[in-house]
Amino acid sequence: MNKEETVKLISAEGFEFVIDKKAAMVSQTIRNMLTSPGSFSETQHGVVRFPEISTTILEKICQYFYWSLQFTSGKETEFHIEPELTLELMMAANYLHT
């Protein structure tokens, strides 16, 4: 994974998740951040911070991104969600428009 193809997502606790750009683009919000013509710092550095999203949730979200890529490429599996995460995950997903 070169630098050019990755983005870094930083959770509320400061954890950094480095994922493929393609995976991050699954989220409409991130996509807009990274591709908008304005000069967002996110665009420039490829780093997005999420101060409201906790680490566990963000991790799950990254897993979802990769699962989604897999799904579109044909491999259709089930994405398991731990029940206790569900509510927060839903809200985060809503925010990220994913």
Partner 1 sequence: MRILLRSREIAPPKSHPLKKTLKSRKINNNNNNNNPTPSKTQPQLSKDSEQLVSRGGGGISLRRSGRLAKRGQGIIIKSDLNAVVDKMKFQQVVLVGNNEDDDKVWIFDSGNNNLSINGEEVKSGSGGKRKCGGDGGGPGLDSKKSKVVDCENGMLEDETSLEVDRVSDSYSDTDSCKKGSDDSTLKADDSGLDMAKRAKESDSVEVIDLDELDMRQSLIGSTGDRNGKENTYKDSESVSLGLSIGGWRSTRRRVRVEENESDELVSNVRDADEVDKETKPSLSGETGDGDTLETMETSLGLGRRKYSREEKGKGILDLNLPPEEQPEPKLGVDPVELNLFPVEENPAKDFSDSTQDAATSLIQLQEAAESESARQRARLSVRSKAHRRRGDRNRFQDVAKHSGPKFAHFHAEEEEEEINVAAPSADELPEIEDWPGPFSTAMKIIKDRSTKLNGRQVTLTQGSSKTTPVIQWMPSTDRNRNPMKPFVPSLQDLCVSLLAKNAEAIVSLKNVPDDLRNTLTKLLCDSRKMDSHVMNLLVAESPDVVRVKDCSWMTEEQMSKTFGECDTSKLVVLQLDLCGRCLPDYVLRATLARSPKSLPCLAAVSLRGACRVTDAGLSSLVASAPCLRSINLGQCSLITSTGIDTIANSLGLLVRELYLDDCQSIDVMLILSALKKLKCLEVLSVADMETVCDDFISGDFSIGHIANGCPLIEKLKLCRNTLSDEAIAAFLEASGESLTELSLNNIKKVGPNTAISLARRCTRNLLTLDLSWCRNLTDEAVGYIVDGCLSLRLIKLFGCTQISNAFLDGHSNPFVRIIGLKTTPILEHLNVFDPLEGPLRYSSVPIS
Stretch that binds partner 1, among 1-9, 12-20, 31-39, 83-91 (CB under 8 A): 83-91
Contact assessment for residue 15 and residue 51, using Cβ atoms and an 8 Å cutoff: no
Other beta carbons less than 10 A from residue 17's beta carbon = 19
**Using rule CB under 8 A, residue 51 touches partner 1:** no
Q: Please identify which residue in 13, 15, 41, 79 interacts with partner 1, judged by CB under 8 A.
A: 79
Shortest distance (Å) from residue 67 CB to partner 1: 9
- E-strand spans in 1-84? 6-10, 16-20, 47-49
Contact assessment for residue 88 and residue 41, using Cβ atoms and an 8 Å cutoff: no
**Cβ proximity to partner 1, 55 vs 68, nearer residue:** 68
Q: Tokens in use for 1? A: 């994974």
For partner 1, the binding residues (CB under 8 A) are 61, 64, 68, 71-72, 74, 76, 79, 81, 83, 86-87, 89-91, 93-94, 96, 98
